[in-house]
């Protein structure tokens, strides 16, 4: 079994009101990563993702694009410790 890594992610741009969180959850299920995604008061989206390195990398690539209607301006990624999350939730 692959080692689990974790990343905290901040995404800015046109990322609220474009189904970003729901699309992130769908993508996370496809990629078998866990964690959460939420809207922030400043209009950005924050997320915590964890899973095998390859899956986390694929999810980070997705965050750089987002869903079809999103306009991602920047993605900030920070290494963090896995929490043992069992699902991926929209919060």
Which of the residues are catalytic?
A: 21, 39
**Spatial CA neighbour of 51 closest among 67, 71, 30:** 30
Name residue 11's beta-bridge partners.
45, 75
63 phi and psi angles, rounded to 5 deg:
-60, -30
């Amino acid at each position: 079994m692959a080692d689990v890594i974790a990343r905290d992610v901040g995404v800015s741009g046109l990322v609220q009101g474009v189904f970003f969180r729901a699309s992130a959850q769908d993508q996370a299920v496809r990629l078998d990563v866990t964690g959460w995604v939420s809207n922030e008061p400043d209009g950005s989206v924050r997320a915590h993702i964890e899973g095998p390195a390859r899956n986390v990398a694929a999810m980070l690539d997705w965050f750089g694009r987002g869903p079809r209607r999103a306009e991602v301006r920047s993605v900030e990624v920070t290494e963090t410790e896995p929490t043992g999350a069992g699902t991926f939730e929209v919060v």
